[in-house]
Amino acid sequence: MEPPSPFARVVKSSERGLLVLVGIVSLLSAALVLWIAHDAVLAAGFAAATMIFATVLHVARSLFRPAAQARIEFDWALVREAADNDEAAIAVTDRAGRLVCANSLHESWFGGPTAPPALGLGDAGESSLGAAGRAAWRDGRASAGGLKRDHLHFGAEVIRGGRNEDHLIWRFTAARAFDMASEARRLIEGEAGNRLGEAGIMAVLIGADGRVQSATRAMLLRAAGRADAPLGGRDFVSLLATSQEGEVRFSAEGAKGAPLRLMQIPLEPDNPETSTLVLILDDDASPTGTGGGIAHIQSLLGILPLGLALADRDGRFLFLNDAFCRAVNLPAGSRPIYPGDLVVREDKAAVADSVRRFATGQAMTGDIAVRLRDQPEEPVALTIAGARGLGEAAVLLSIKDNSEESRLKKQVAQATKMQAVGQLAGGVAHDFNNILTGILGHCDLMMMRHTPGDSDYDDIQQIRSNANRAASLTRQLLAFSRQQTLRPQILQLPDIVSEISNLLQRLLGETVVLTVKHGRNLGAVRADPGQLEQVIVNLAVNARDAMPRGGTVTIQTYSVPIAEVRKLGSDILPIADYTALSVSDTGTGIAPELLPKIFEPFFTTKEVGKGTGLGLSTVYGIVKQSGGFIFADSKPGEGTSFVIYLPVHRAEAPAAPARVKAKEKPAESWGSGTILLVEDEDMVRAVAERALSRNGYTVVTAENGEAALQILAQRSDI
């Protein structure tokens, strides 16, 4: 039997000491009980119980002592056998950095069982790998990439592991082989190829047999006319044509195409079987190009009346002529960088995309509708053409100055709208007049049966008054629609103004000063005096409402001869002699955006309930029906001026009156006879029939012309 180990001897001596200690404690406890209880039997029993309990615990501990835990030893041969089946080089190091285990691939790559990071990777590689090891001790996992040893490229992953996490596991994996041809194909067919095309560079990948493997969209567009053309497998040389001067062009573009410059880039110079990358650019410096003559081209474009500009492949402006600057309302001395700077934000992307497409594609032309930044409400046509052989210029842009055309379109649209609304207002006024005729007729019939003082007389009179007010509104609608019946006379405008001056003074009030000025040698005009008075009153009332704190209203008449009309240069006012009537105020004025709408019906700038919107439209209708013209000029805060131009009336020599045989005066037929009454409106027909019947006539009615003709054919007493 082996002698007990020192550890066993120490355990046994500690157990005996524990028993002695328990005995001493038992005796002391018994003495304490004896001193407290003064009972020797109780003290002896307590000491005996304590000793028995300690003995039982000692025996139980001896019988059920746990077995000593066996120490586990690692079988590193088994671990290495498992690691050799991995495709990675694996090494395990301990806390001190010593190599514990490594697989065969690790020994093959790094020349033997070498502990990382000292693997012959150079200073940078070992520094990167050492930092990864420190990070793995701290964070549990780390990695390093871009490691190189001789011709081998690989990456490393470091993991902290083990029962107590006191080892590092190093896994090294070889990097994927870099295929230059595949990478070049990926770049050409992807976004990088599009960026090359936008920069004016076409790229094509050609195999060792000279056939196309891949090409950029710009190359496909130029060589085949379509960005999705299937050129794969085509002989690259067949896409090109060489002139007698040695210039290379695309066969699809012919002799008019831009000369090309080709640059070949072998992907693997040492391997003749590898692919070749060819970059193609337009040869701006070719003998047939304009190169140095671009200044002459710009001089020629500068004197043309068309708006023309040149831009390079990046879309930057190189040249803008004066007509182009006027068409886009560019201030003097201002020059934008890109065409997109001239249009509204929503159109910038479309313009930029079109410029790039025409700069890199074939020499073709296209139009795009855009809205200029200074004129967003009026779309204009921007013509873009691909330019070749003009040096840096790759795109020619053209825009037409259509400001005058736009102004005329607005005027025509306004006139058409006013005419349509006028026809509508005339139809409404006609139907409204028929209703009012029936109302007024029945009121008159009822008033014949009632006398003043009767209980119903005042009510009937109120109905009649309101109907007359409605009739005046109808006359305004007819005036606007130019369908009212005028009674024109030869008159002088100062006479009309003088007749209503007192009325105007009362209408304007005490806070408004009325100033009247008359010119000399005024020509007579032919117009309805009552309607002209309404025109002046409407304009004066509008002027008063525009001056809530008071001001001055100026009414002026003056002559406008033909020479002054020519100086005005108006496209609306015909060349003739006019007598003008001007009504001006010092009020708040009208905003520029509202000025074109003031003559529209039911449009008003006044508060709700303070204007019908028919005042100025009525004025417009009366002036137009009288053969005149009206213009408004206003500046916010400075007042408004309305000017009416009426043509001077030229009196013709009266013709000799023809002898007319005097007709015999018909016999009085009041209260007798038969009358045929034709009216399509039932209400008006009923009123007229009752009125005639009251005067003793026999009335036969017809609702239309055909019915009236049938009645005339059947009766002879009408």
| Confidence at residue 680, expressed as pLDDT on a 0 to 100 scale | 85
Element housing 184 (H / E): helix 180-189
pLDDT average, residue stretch 288-292: 43
Cα–Cα distance measured from residue 522 to residue 497, given in angstroms and rounded to the nearest whole number? 14
Q: 367 is written with which tokens?
A: 């139009």
pLDDT tier for residue 71 given thresholds of 50, 70 and 90? very low
User: Could you tell me if 251 and 243 are in contact, meaning their C-beta atoms sit under 8 angstroms apart?
Assistant: no
Torsions phi, psi of 440, nearest 5? Answer: -65, -35
User: Could you tell me if 688 and 679 are in contact, meaning their C-beta atoms sit under 8 angstroms apart?
Assistant: yes
Cα–Cα distance measured from residue 537 to residue 472, given in angstroms and rounded to the nearest whole number? 14
pTM above 0.85, yes or no: no
Q: Is the pLDDT of residue 609 over 70?
A: no
Residue 117's identity, in one-letter code, is P
Q: Is the pLDDT of residue 95 over 70?
A: yes
Decide which of 268 and 545 is more confident: 545
| Confidence at residue 556, expressed as pLDDT on a 0 to 100 scale | 94
User: Could you tell me if 217 and 227 are in contact, meaning their C-beta atoms sit under 8 angstroms apart?
Assistant: yes
Between 373-377, 460-464, 574-578, 707-711, the lowest mean confidence (pLDDT) is in 373-377
Look at the block and give the residue holding tokens 């200690």: 21
| Confidence at residue 68, expressed as pLDDT on a 0 to 100 scale | 42
Q: Is the pLDDT of residue 519 over 80?
A: yes
Q: Is the pLDDT of residue 582 over 90?
A: yes
User: Could you tell me if 486 and 531 are in contact, meaning their C-beta atoms sit under 8 angstroms apart?
Assistant: yes
| Confidence at residue 581, expressed as pLDDT on a 0 to 100 scale | 94
pLDDT tier for residue 77 given thresholds of 50, 70 and 90? low
Look at the block and give the residue holding tokens 């008071």: 550
pLDDT tier for residue 569 given thresholds of 50, 70 and 90? confident
Residue pLDDT, tens place only, 442-451: 888 888 777 7
pLDDT average, residue stretch 491-502: 88
pLDDT tier for residue 418 given thresholds of 50, 70 and 90? low
Between 146-150, 462-466, 546-550, 682-686, the lowest mean confidence (pLDDT) is in 146-150
pLDDT average, residue stretch 599-607: 66
**CA-CA-CA-CA dihedral for 285, 288, 289, 292, to nearest 10:** 80
Look at the block and give the residue holding tokens 């070949």: 264
Q: Is the pLDDT of residue 511 over 70?
A: yes
Closest CA to 198 of 382, 391, 354, 7: 354
- Tell me the CB-side half-sphere exposure of residue 709, using CA atoms within 13 A: 3
Residue pLDDT, tens place only, 332-383: 667 788 888 888 888 888 888 888 888 776 667 778 888 888 777 777 888 8
pLDDT average, residue stretch 163-177: 80
Cα–Cα distance measured from residue 584 to residue 672, given in angstroms and rounded to the nearest whole number? 59
Q: 460 is written with which tokens?
A: 């009937």
Q: Is the pLDDT of residue 489 over 70?
A: yes
User: Could you tell me if 30 and 23 are in contact, meaning their C-beta atoms sit under 8 angstroms apart?
Assistant: no
Which residues 6+ apart lie within 8 Å of 597 measured at CB?
A: 603
Residue 46's identity, in one-letter code, is F
- 3-class secondary-structure state, position 663: coil
